[in-house]
Amino acid sequence: MKSLHKRQIIIINKLILEDKPITSKQLAFFVGVSVRTIKSDIVEINEKIAHYHIRIMSKPREGYWIVIDENADIEELSKITDAKIVKKFDDTPKFNYERINYIIKKLLVVDYHIKLEDLMDEIFVSRSTLTQDLKEIRSLLSKFRLKVVSRSNYGIIIEGSEIDKRLCIAEYFFHYNNRANYSIASENMFTVGKSKEEYDSILRFIKEVCDKYNILLSDFSLNNFAIHVFVSIRRCTFYNYIKAEDTLKENVEDSIEFKAATELTKKLEDYYEFMLPIGETIYYSLHLKSKRISSEDQINAQEKQKLRDCILSIIEEVKSNFDVNFENDKELYDYLYLHIAQMITRLRNNMVIRNPLAHDNLRRYLFATKITYTACMIIEKTYDVKIDINEFGYLVLYFNLALCKIENKKKIRIALVSGRGRPESTMYLNEITEYFSHEKYEVKMLDNSQIILGDYKNIDLLVSTYTLTTPPNVPSITIEDDSYLDEIRKALNKIKVNNLDFKKYFKEEYSCFNLDGNTKEEVLENLYDKFIELKFIDKLPEKNKAFVSNEIGNGIVHFQDLFRICRKGFFFIAVLNKPVLWDQDVVRVLIMLKTKRDGDKDLSTLCKIISKWANNPDMVESLIENMNYSMFLSDIKNV
């Protein structure tokens, strides 16, 4: 029998095991390739197996099945129906996001070239599929300043500084993509080998030196630093050391952090019974310097003025863009003052302080996220740095806290209209006043004559003890039983939603189900085509003015129009036809929320509604499964 590559063997085995036809889409999903590839493979398979009286048949709208004639060459057939191959395939990453994670991990744990042919054979893909995967891998690794270098007759290898390799190892082995159910050779050098005793010892050493030198670290930073120390020990075991470059020394020499790191190095040497070079001490110093909780005393006078100017520019720009005034919020100013200074140090040293809730923060606080983009553009321009998603997520929290304080100052006015006696009316008034905080709500009494005359223009919600004969043009509820306080709360929650013009932003034509694309780049290309079709944009944006996208968890990517390319307000939502690796997460849903101008009064309300929906995994999954816009709209209105 002519040679079949392993993916074709998998297809034949799958067809033999099934007792009914399988569609090309089902086969594509099973194997992890496109429908076009499946069709090409089957044509090629039939050419190779025709002489052995075995063939794959097909019928429109039914699918493919295999036919084995009576005089088929069973001996040859047995060679290509090896259950071991199928079992190995089941344990191999199939989708591009699984393969990418697998290949990155494999490249990170070896210090030699890997041939493409070996990779193709290992994960059952063609050269074209592997080439496409490597394109995305190069993009992902570039964020760690690492390169995938190819050399003829040798293969591929990761190149970059040892510090950047360690940062990448910490991310891929300890933080991201932990759901994968497959493993690679040598992976246990970063997982199984991390005994609790060893990890606890490293953590204890760090706490001891930090206490001695009065270096304050958050609990998460302590654990994160312990992971990096653990990775450093494993790397040193294989002679992968940090180079003690002069620029690194200058950042830490004569510092408290360096003294603490020197003592930490001595403790590690005693524990592991081998010497660590000076580069490792410098590396630990950089982590301490980047992760410690700082105070104003550590900032010099020139940097203080630069920082003040930067924060004032942020506050002015936010007020101009969003009509939100943070000028009198001293707490926000103090938070930004201390965080930005330390953040700049971390970014310049390429020392990431991980934020495990970064994506969650972006999803929960969409309006604060939009404000944070404005702030980050000013910070990046002032300090010539690029802010990563971890730091961005912390800034979102500061701005959301400031927004909450402004929101709490806006009082919602509730009016009680009672046709009952004064004692009972007073009882209801007291209950409502006590139940709803004075800080956010203002409760007052109105009489029936004021209702008849329409004297309730400034009231947000009317609560009455009887059915009003003249229907008011503001939301109202009638007290019927003891559950009336809950009914009031529900009504208050709906006030802003009901005041929103849903038809203006939410239109079925602003949705797209089964958006094509096997990779992030393909999805983006199809998305821009859709935006042009919907007249959101006139042409493809320039590369440096493209929409910015962020993973926000729950399989969602949120797009931002930072350069104000779109001139109309809308809410766009798309469901991908297959899961796609975006940056670090696998996504299925794309959303974009746009008002005519950033300061539009609807923007904050829209962001809250979409945040509540995106925070509900069941609703997101319902959209993916049903792809029904009416159901989605119903969920949005009742979220």
Q: What is the DSSP string of 61-114?
A: TTEEEEEE-TT--HHHHHHT--HHHHHHHHTS--SHHHHHHHHHHHHHT-SS-B
| Residue 393 in tokens | 């997520």
Region 336-347: what's the mean pLDDT? 89
Better pLDDT: 479 or 317:
317
For range 175-184, the mean pLDDT: 48
Query: Nearest-CA neighbor of 76 among 65, 88, 68, 84?
Result: 68
Is 90 exceeded by the pLDDT of residue 204? yes
At 57, which helix (H) or strand (E)?
Answer: strand 54-59
Q: Are strands 476-478 and 441-446 parallel, antiparallel or unpaired?
A: unpaired
Closest CA to 396 of 353, 357, 426: 357
CA atoms of 337 and 308, how far apart (whole Å): 7
Domains in the chain, please, with CATH? Answer: 6-90 (1.10.10.10), 96-189 (1.10.10), 196-291 (1.10.1790), 296-409 (1.10.1790.10), 412-499 (3.40.50.2300), 503-637 (3.40.930.10)
DSSP string, 150-206: EETTTEEEEES-HHHHHHHHHIIIIIS-TT-----TTGGGTTTT--HHHHHHHHHHH
- Residue 331 pLDDT more than 70? yes
Predicted TM-score of the model (pTM): 0.71
Segment 524-543 shows an average pLDDT of 91
Largest CA distance in the chain: 99
576 vs 124: CA distance, rounded Å: 24
Predicted confidence (pLDDT) per residue in 222-261, tens digit: 988 998 999 999 899 888 999 877 666 777 778 899 999 9
pLDDT category of residue 179 using cuts at 50, 70 and 90: very low
**What is the amino acid identity at position 379?**
I
Please say if the pLDDT value at position 176 is more than 70: no
The pLDDT of residue 246: 67
In this predicted structure, the answer to whether residue 180 has a pLDDT above a threshold of 50 is no
E strand or H helix at 39: helix 35-49
Answer for the pair 4, 43: CB distance below 8 angstroms, yes or no. no
CB 350 within 8 A of CB 167: yes
Report the percent of the chain where pLDDT is more than 70: 89
267: pLDDT confidence band, cut at 50, 70 and 90? Answer: very high
Average pLDDT in the 602-611 region? 90
Over range 4-25, report the average pLDDT: 82
What would the pLDDT profile of 100-155 be if each residue is shown by its tens digit?
989 999 999 888 999 998 888 788 788 888 998 999 999 999 989 999 999 998 99
Q: List, for residues 542-600, the tens digit of each pLDDT value.
A: 877 889 999 998 999 999 998 888 878 899 999 999 888 898 888 999 999 998 776 67
Question: Do residues 575 and 589 make contact, with C-beta atoms less than 8 angstroms apart?
Answer: yes
